[in-house]
Amino acid sequence: MNNMSNQDRYRNTAAIQASLRKRYARERRFQWYGRIAVLGSFVFLAILLLDIVGKGLPAFSQYFIQVPIEMDADRLGVGPDPTEDELFGANYLAVIKASLRELFPDVEGRKEKRLLYEMISLRAEYTLRDRVLENPGLIGTTTEFWLLAHAEAGSYLKGQVDTALPEADRRVKDLQVQWLERLRAEGRAEERFNATFFTQGDSREPEMAGIKAALYGSFFTLLVTFLLAFPIGVFSAVYLEEFAPRNRVTDLIEININNLAAVPSIVFGLLGLAVFINFFELPRSAPLVGGIVLSLMTLPTIIITSRAAIQAVSPSIREAALGVGASRLQTVFHHVLPVAMPGILTGAIIGMAQALGETAPLLMIGMVAFIVDVPGGVTDPSTVLPVQIFLWADSPERGFTEKTSAAIMVLMGFLIVMNAVAIYLRRRFELK
């Protein structure tokens, strides 16, 4: 009797041991699949980031060229005691051209001279004008000024131009190459941080184009979206979870909300066009309309995630509150919502991040126009970051390639800041 049971026991243990080997092998394989998947995604992420940052980083610097400017009153076209208006309308371009000719006296011929002038950005005019308005005493003097280089010249100085190509195939001609090298050798070419990128709106010239207008536009649009979608979404979720009776009507509402979350975003754009712009005649291209459209799009996401967060609050907290004599509204606002807040905020961030990157519905309501001025409020025409990226990606000038990547970096930075704010808010609620 004893022998048999021992044998049985041994057989069992051996069987278990054999199966153990297989089980551990399977688990190890599974872990490796996981590691490979995570590694793979990191590799792709790294490639993406390196590509974007590599392309975009040069956009954050720009080249300036130092030119001795002779502020000749005659050439400027101003009298001995000029008024501010006269100074404003003076001919700074002529002064720049003359000073460039002074710097390169051997340049002759109209074509070559034009190549010479093309090395300096059109912006230089405005720089000089602003300086003279500040200090009219500059007239009659010859002072060294740092002028913004043209995008192509700057691109060459950054090393982005392949001089091995035949001249006809590139924008920077051999003569310009010579001149730029000479300027560089003389220490007249300097690389500086590209503040223009953050202080100017869009422009036809790449070196003058900035992201400020799109940044403000995105900010205002998201502000409207948040102010509309968050309260309406959260309170709808509260009502549906805590107060609404369970009947067919509320079931229908729930089904509709879930379906709305899956509607393609461009449909919301069409809705915005037809209802808000055509029927209500709200201003086209304004962050107000963009915000309303995006908030409609974000509402289902916020409602669904908020409902889940509220459902997850344990009934014991509600009972405790009711037991002490809190009304239903007090129970919800003093006890349920604070506990559900981390989940609600997560949902809100997901919704906002979606809204930040949306392009299609905004194109429908007209935010694709070439907007140069920085919007001052929610009714000014504006564009948003994704649309700006889209427009720049379309442009043929080389200078816009790096700006597109730089704008993508700014967009991601915006997202990171939003996420950081949300995480901070979550922490504060969780600690309480």
Nearer to other proteins, 139 or 317 (CB): 317
Report how many helices (DSSP H) and strands (DSSP E) the chain contains, helices first.
19, 3
Alpha-carbon dihedral angle through residues 120, 122, 123, 127, given to the nearest 10 degrees: 80
d(CA 360, CA 382): 15
Q: What share of the chain is helix, strand, coil (3-state, %, to 5)?
A: 70, 5, 25
334 is a contact residue toward other proteins (CB under 8 A): yes
User: Site mask, other proteins, residues 211-250, x = CB under 8 A?
Assistant: -----------------------------------x----
DSSP 69: E
Show contacts with other proteins in window 265-294 (CB under 8 A).
Answer: none
CB of 323 to other proteins, least distance (A): 4
Q: Is 200 helix (H, G, I), strand (E, B) or coil?
A: coil
| Candidate residues 261, 317, 363, 412; the one interacting with other proteins per rule CB under 8 A | 317
Stretch that binds other proteins, among 141-149, 295-303, 316-324, 355-363 (CB under 8 A): 316-324
322 is a contact residue toward other proteins (CB under 8 A): yes
Nearer to other proteins, 119 or 339 (CB): 339
| Candidate residues 109, 315, 394, 396; the one interacting with other proteins per rule CB under 8 A | 315
83 is a contact residue toward other proteins (CB under 8 A): no
Tokens of 346: 């997560």
Stretch that binds other proteins, among 90-98, 217-225, 314-322, 343-351 (CB under 8 A): 314-322
CB of 350 to other proteins, least distance (A): 24
User: Site mask, other proteins, residues 393-432, x = CB under 8 A?
Assistant: ---------------------------------------x
Q: Is the dihedral of CA 335, 341, 342, 343 positive or negative?
A: positive
* Residue 142 φ then ψ, to 5°: -115, 115
320 is a contact residue toward other proteins (CB under 8 A): yes
318 is a contact residue toward other proteins (CB under 8 A): yes
Compute how many residues bind other proteins; rule: CB under 8 A: 20
Stretch that binds other proteins, among 87-95, 123-131, 329-337, 386-394 (CB under 8 A): 329-337
**Burial (CB count <10 Å: 0-12, 13-18, 19+), residue 290:** buried
Residue 133 neighbours by CB under 8 Å, 6+ apart: 84, 87, 88
CB of 424 to other proteins, least distance (A): 19
Nearer to other proteins, 321 or 407 (CB): 321
| Candidate residues 209, 339, 356, 389; the one interacting with other proteins per rule CB under 8 A | 339
Q: Is 193 helix (H, G, I), strand (E, B) or coil?
A: strand
| Candidate residues 5, 316, 394, 396; the one interacting with other proteins per rule CB under 8 A | 316
Determine contact, residues 64/189, Cβ cutoff 8 Å: yes
d(CA 14, CA 348): 55
User: Site mask, other proteins, residues 245-264, x = CB under 8 A?
Assistant: -x------------------
Stretch that binds other proteins, among 6-14, 85-93, 142-150, 309-317 (CB under 8 A): 309-317
Q: Packing angle between helix 287-311 and helix 337-356, nearest 10 degrees?
A: 140
Tokens of 256: 């509709």
CB of 316 to other proteins, least distance (A): 4
Q: Which residue has the tokens 């729930």?
A: 254
Please list the residues that pair with 120 across neighbouring strands.
149
Determine contact, residues 375/217, Cβ cutoff 8 Å: yes
Footprint of other proteins (CB under 8 A): 246, 315-327, 330, 334-335, 338-339, 432
